[in-house]
Structure 1
Amino acid sequence: MPDHPVIPVSVIIVTKGEGASLSPTLAALASFDQIIVVDSGGDADTFAVAQSFGADIVAYTWNGAYPKKRQWCLDHLPLAHDWVFFVDADEIVTPELTRAIADLFSHDGPCADGYFVRGRYVWGGRVLRFGLTNNKLALFNRHAFMFPVVDDLGLPGMGEIEGHYQPVAKKPGARIGVLAPMLTHDAAADPTRWYERHERYAQWEAGMNERGAWPADPVIWRHRLKRVFRALPARGAVAFLYCYVWKCGFLDGGAGFDFARARGWYYRRIAALSRRAFNAQ
């Protein structure tokens, strides 16, 4: 049993037939008051697993227009709370992170309108202690933030869910914090699927770069840094060195090297696709 009151947050898990990986994700969320699994795969296993943990199930079909999946959730789900926490099916919320979130809602409640949640990657079955971490504005007051409409409809690699960008503030002055404890993010349980998925992401990101469609990051310094990084001709090498050397990924041994190499490949692939599109003009 949790050593704190039930957390007054609505957890939203968006899935696409991911019942096989959902059990540990749901098991780690027992402290939260409401859990909703929004599935677009129509997978019976996903529904059965979600129901076994007492989660609500919502079937989703994208109509090819905006809003996409996460904003649709904010617009249409029967949310019991103002605060929402978006968790992916391959993420596990640690006890330390759960306690940190519970502490936010004790006494006078959160002092910010949203919080970045960081994640440690799992690569080759090993939790990486160093190197790159995943950072998402995943815990926020739904009245303060929304997912923006961007000019990506029809782009190769584009899908039903919002891409690699953060929700944006509905009004100026939104306060943003960062939670210190991390979740774990097992995005590469199957390396082949990781590369296939990131090939689609690379096509989408190259198209976003070509259209200049990126929305502003809610944190100014992050927005400026991303603009500089996207313009670098050698961003694949920069991504590898940042992950493996600057962030000490080498301390994770072979798994740290493989992960940094994969990140470098991803950004080299984006650059190659961008050059191909430019030369075709």
Structure 2
Amino acid sequence: MKDPGNKITALIITYNEMGYIQKCIDSISFVDEIVVVDSYSTDGTYEYLLSQPNVRVVQNPFNNFTAQKSFALKLAKNDWILFVDADEVVSPVLQKEIVDTVNSNSTHAAYWFYRTFMFGNKVLRFSGWQTDKNYRLFRKSKACFTDKKIVHETLEVNGTTGIFREKLTHYCYKNYEDYKKKMLSYGRMKATEDFYKEKRFNYFSFLFKPTWKFVNHYFLRLGILDGKKGMIICYLNALCEIERNRELKKLERKNELAYYLVMP
């Protein structure tokens, strides 16, 4: 009989993930519980999840990534949490490493995962992503998402951490428009973070940061070796910084306008 303390809940948040979610769900079928929080998808994602007998799906309005993931965490029955994105796939070798780690009664509170980035069905080897890692397996009793970030959410861990040898497969790029939309959305959410941290728009940052991001990822982080794929990814990642600055300027203008409207 399996030790109750070694049971795993897999958590996913979704919004319009058809084309990704099927592979993800199949790859985490080894866990004891799968919970998905859907942000009212319109492409059939929710209906697909309802048809899966091993999935519990709940709909919840999306405010930001941190709030949505914190909501999902409250729904988990087990202490061990495997939190994956809808476009990530856990390989059979990684599945075994996860199960062996949990069954070893590990004393670590959380584990880092490196990721293999996919451009369509081809591996993106460089372009700044070669050292990317995230917490994906952790104990609910010893970790929580900090409310200091609303995108690229951060896990605060009370305890020691480990790192997995095998990598997650991340299907980050389906097509140009899909990835562009994602980067623009991230840019706007980062601008909201900046605004509430009272960071100010300035033209130096507007001109320098996107340029530096492209140069850094394409040349210094070897995106050039990824060929056309690297050029596209590095450009769209730089576009995220452009949108971040544009949105920050808009938020400041709206704030100033609201201030003058309430002035006596």
**Matching residue of 1:218:** none
The reply on whether 1:198 has 2:183 as its aligned counterpart is yes
Q: Distance in 2 between matches of 1:259 and 1:58?
A: 32
TM-score of the pair, normalised by structure 2: 0.77
Aligned residues: 243
User: Where does 1:108-127 land on structure 2 (aligned, <5 Å)?
Assistant: 109-127=105-123
The reply on whether 1:186 has 2:171 as its aligned counterpart is yes
User: Where does 1:152-167 land on structure 2 (aligned, <5 Å)?
Assistant: 162-167=150-155
RMSD: 3.1
**Matching residue of 1:91:** 88
Do the aligned partners of residues 176 and 232 (structure 1) sit closer, same or farther apart at CA in structure 2, a change above 3 Å counting? farther
Paired letter, 2:108: A
The reply on whether 1:236 has 2:210 as its aligned counterpart is yes
Paired letter, 1:89: A
Name the SS for the 1:198 alignment partner.
helix
Paired letter, 1:234: F
Give 1:253 deviation, angstroms.
1.7
Alignment counterpart, residue 102 of structure 1, candidates 99, 119, 128: 99
Deviation track 1:105-161 (CA, whole Å, cap 9, x = no partner) reads 233x224211222222222442212233343222111011112334x8xxxxxxxxx
The reply on whether 1:9 has 2:3 as its aligned counterpart is no
Do the aligned partners of residues 186 and 251 (structure 1) sit closer, same or farther apart at CA in structure 2, a change above 3 Å counting? same
Do the aligned partners of residues 233 and 115 (structure 1) sit closer, same or farther apart at CA in structure 2, a change above 3 Å counting? farther
Alignment counterpart, residue 82 of structure 1, candidates 79, 82, 89: 79
Paired letter, 1:142: K
**Matching residue of 1:168:** 156
Deviation track 1:15-40 (CA, whole Å, cap 9, x = no partner) reads 12434421111111132222222223
Is this contact kept in 2: 1:19–1:47, CA < 8 A? no
Q: Give structure 1 stretches of 5+ with no counterpart.
A: 1-6, 153-161, 215-230
Paired letter, 1:95: P
Q: Distance in 2 between matches of 1:94 and 1:65?
A: 28
**Matching residue of 1:23:** 22
**Matching residue of 1:131:** 127
Q: Give structure 2 stretches of 5+ with no counterpart.
A: 1-5, 200-204, 257-264
Give 1:90 deviation, angstroms.
1.2
Q: Distance in 2 between matches of 1:132 and 1:63?
A: 29
The reply on whether 1:148 has 2:122 as its aligned counterpart is no
Paired letter, 1:84: I
Paired letter, 1:126: K
Is this contact kept in 2: 1:36–1:55, CA < 8 A? no
Paired letter, 2:30: S
| Structure (1/2) with the larger helix percentage | 2
Whichever of the two has the greater Rg, that structure is 2
Alignment counterpart, residue 263 of structure 1, candidates 225, 229, 237: 237
Name the SS for the 1:68 alignment partner.
helix
Is this contact kept in 1: 2:120–2:171, CA < 8 A? no
Do the aligned partners of residues 13 and 265 (structure 1) sit closer, same or farther apart at CA in structure 2, a change above 3 Å counting? same
Do the aligned partners of residues 272 and 46 (structure 1) sit closer, same or farther apart at CA in structure 2, a change above 3 Å counting? closer
TM-score of the pair, normalised by structure 1: 0.73
Name the SS for the 2:36 alignment partner.
strand
Give 1:64 deviation, angstroms.
6.0
Q: Distance in 2 between matches of 1:45 and 1:117?
A: 29
Q: Distance in 1 between matches of 2:62 and 2:168?
A: 32
Q: Distance in 2 between matches of 1:198 and 1:115?
A: 27
Q: Distance in 2 between matches of 1:67 and 1:275?
A: 24
